[in-house]
Structure 1
């Protein structure tokens, strides 16, 4: 799979630039095992890099002031002068790259000319963070070939800043962090505020994580997300007014929340109780994974889906149907909606010997119910961004 992507991207580079690339880099997408919507509420998340990548074929151009990109999947090119101040442009994919350059430029670092062709096996719009892979992959490349001496943490923050400033998306840090810090067969328990993190072995012996893409994305994703944040903020204000000695939201308990229930109303109460439960589930899931307690991990995934559907209310008819039917299949221990909600993928924990049957059955049921062909992504937990040497591949 990686060899094919590298070969494909190399051919794209040759076609675009009539020369050979000098470097190859692979930047992965990510999944989040558990911990949805807690990144802005003093919680933890449990992401991992996966074996879906953006491949970059790169050539450093000495004595040049131009960065040129060829996006093979869009069949589009874009160039800019490294000595000029950049502003967002109409080509959205280019903005992720320009935002990275802008952050590097603002830090006082200098880069020179470069040619880059890239192509991806990360499905766009599926919630697997192709944008974070693009941003952080470019930041990693600049750091490597121009000797910028940026730390991994700085690279992740540059990726996030790019998304905020040039793409207009006020994302958390999880996606970029997972793409940069990922390790094969390990998940990251990340404190999104402090960026403190620790790794846990992903002991999934005999089971795999399989993603079912609903191929729907409802239009109220952005407004729904903002509404949920407002609901949560309403609850937080009341909690801190009543209990000013508590430093972090995750340190509130259920009895404290019950005390302000009447004041904040049932909607905010439901949002906050989901978050407190979910924060607790992340630590339990990390422990279950490292101990190989796959059955308990499945239970936690199911609890999260129930919370996202009934308490945080960010699921949708298609995802609820998909999860409900998946849990009826042999060998399925857990299933839940993954990501911000209102569409996208479900993440499913399935016994290896039952995966093909489950995929076939759910595909048929989903097509019959909604007339949509769902997509399936079988993923493995992989390393974060790294350079790949030419001799690792037969190009």
Structure 2
């Protein structure tokens, strides 16, 4: 529990509005253990909420007043009248779009809310690929649902968060980030079917091991163009496979043999990406099972296999991420490592023995600085509860 974040946000609320907040809420970021680039390929993902949060301090206002959003970390505020027709902002207050999008979705659903004043602050590193935007959307939706007793389910809240990002932030994201933020449980991962939103929990007691994010602090411009090209190739691959295998509906129905038999027809680039998708769908189930059984050697090997696939087959890694993964895997106490997220930069996810973590972090930081002259950012993370109301005795 980040009590420093809670007390700091409460104090900022008091300084800004002249009173203590009536409610405190916490909404976490997320990691994805495995299942990368599978959410849009009809597969499963294995995310978990983590102990990095956005904290919301909230009080109700009288009917007819403007809602006030205060972004503590940016020292910026935005006022909005609930009665007005909401539109995305294009000025310096674009951060407020994540909140306005939620209000707009509630209005579309005919949900009655009253004005509020909110101060929010974050311990989620911005730009590290652990989904601060989903935490912001879902935390705000959760707070309004609780305060005004709107009766929305967790699934409703996740979908409202996703839709608000589509419509007001202009990002056509999948459902995984919002789902993990809302549905997260302490020391549990979620095996999520991105098509049906069916899900199940698996134990994730890491024992003598810990998860560490290593932030490469780079983001290459290939992200959008490379991502779109890869999606086209994967769609092309599935169409060819379906033409030759009438019983195939989506990637879950595809086997290794099907892909191998069509290697020449697919062409090498599409073949490699197709093999990755088939293998990664399989790895999600294997990783959930390994976690449940406490088989961390197997889990680490799966993470490393995913990185190899993302880098060599799917083509979404970069020099810096490959360096981080390859070098850290040479170190004592490291069970597995992979790039995490869309690719071309961002973080690697590392499974490390606790007694070796400090030594590994020091060594890889020095190597990375020497190789790229970049100061590595390091974020140890624990698997936590999803979005919730904070009380003095809450265990998150």
State how 1:384-395 maps to structure 2 within 5 Å: 384-389=386-391, 391-392=392-393
- 1:283-338 per-residue CA deviation (whole Å, 9 max, x = no partner) reads 00000000000000000001000000000010000000011110111100101001
What's the offset of the Cα at 1:201? Answer: 0.3
Which segment drifts farther, 293-302 or 65-74?
A: 65-74
Match of 1:341 among 331, 340, 343: 343
Match of 1:63 in 2: 63
RMSD between superposed Cα atoms in Å = 1.1
- 1:244-297 per-residue CA deviation (whole Å, 9 max, x = no partner) reads 322221111111122332223211111111011000000000000000000000
Which segment drifts farther, 366-375 or 161-170?
A: 161-170
Match of 2:31 in 1: 31
Match of 2:133 in 1: 131
Return the alpha-carbon distance in structure 1 between the equivalents of residues 346 and 313 of structure 2. Answer: 19
Match of 1:189 in 2: 191
Match of 1:332 in 2: 334
- Classify the secondary structure of the residue corresponding to 1:320: helix
Return the alpha-carbon distance in structure 2 between the equivalents of residues 243 and 103 of structure 1. Answer: 41
What's the offset of the Cα at 1:392? Answer: 3.6
Return the alpha-carbon distance in structure 2 between the equivalents of residues 261 and 99 of structure 1. Answer: 45
- State yes or no: 1:119 paired with 2:121: yes
Match of 1:175 in 2: 177
Return the alpha-carbon distance in structure 2 between the equivalents of residues 65 and 82 of structure 1. Answer: 8
- Classify the secondary structure of the residue corresponding to 1:227: helix
- State yes or no: 1:261 paired with 2:263: yes
For the 8 Å contact 2:251–2:277, the answer to whether it is kept is no
What's the offset of the Cα at 1:65? Answer: 4.1
Return the alpha-carbon distance in structure 1 between the equivalents of residues 35 and 182 of structure 2. Answer: 19
Match of 1:78 in 2: 78
- 1:349-369 per-residue CA deviation (whole Å, 9 max, x = no partner) reads 000000000000000000000
Is there any run of 5+ residues in structure 2 with no aligned partner, and where? none
- State yes or no: 1:229 paired with 2:231: yes
State how 1:1-395 maps to structure 2 within 5 Å: 2-90=2-90, 91-389=93-391, 391-392=392-393
Return the alpha-carbon distance in structure 1 between the equivalents of residues 264 and 99 of structure 2. Answer: 47
- Classify the secondary structure of the residue corresponding to 2:34: coil
Return the alpha-carbon distance in structure 2 between the equivalents of residues 170 and 247 of structure 1. Answer: 24
For the 8 Å contact 2:238–2:250, the answer to whether it is kept is no
Which segment drifts farther, 224-233 or 333-342?
A: 224-233
- 1:5-32 per-residue CA deviation (whole Å, 9 max, x = no partner) reads 0110011111221121000000000000
Return the alpha-carbon distance in structure 2 between the equivalents of residues 9 and 223 of structure 1. Answer: 39
What's the offset of the Cα at 1:219? Answer: 1.3
For the 8 Å contact 1:316–1:342, the answer to whether it is kept is yes
Return the alpha-carbon distance in structure 2 between the equivalents of residues 193 and 341 of structure 1. Answer: 22
Which segment drifts farther, 87-96 or 179-188?
A: 87-96
- Classify the secondary structure of the residue corresponding to 1:166: helix
- Classify the secondary structure of the residue corresponding to 2:40: coil
For the 8 Å contact 2:220–2:345, the answer to whether it is kept is yes
- Classify the secondary structure of the residue corresponding to 2:298: helix
Return the alpha-carbon distance in structure 2 between the equivalents of residues 112 and 203 of structure 1. Answer: 41
Return the alpha-carbon distance in structure 2 between the equivalents of residues 169 and 244 of structure 1. Answer: 34
**TM-score for the superposition, normalised by structure 1:** 0.97
For the 8 Å contact 1:66–1:112, the answer to whether it is kept is no
- Classify the secondary structure of the residue corresponding to 2:73: coil
For the 8 Å contact 1:211–1:377, the answer to whether it is kept is yes
**TM-score for the superposition, normalised by structure 2:** 0.97
Return the alpha-carbon distance in structure 2 between the equivalents of residues 289 and 149 of structure 1. Answer: 34
Return the alpha-carbon distance in structure 1 between the equivalents of residues 269 and 66 of structure 2. Answer: 52
Return the alpha-carbon distance in structure 1 between the equivalents of residues 359 and 127 of structure 2. Answer: 26
- Classify the secondary structure of the residue corresponding to 1:384: coil
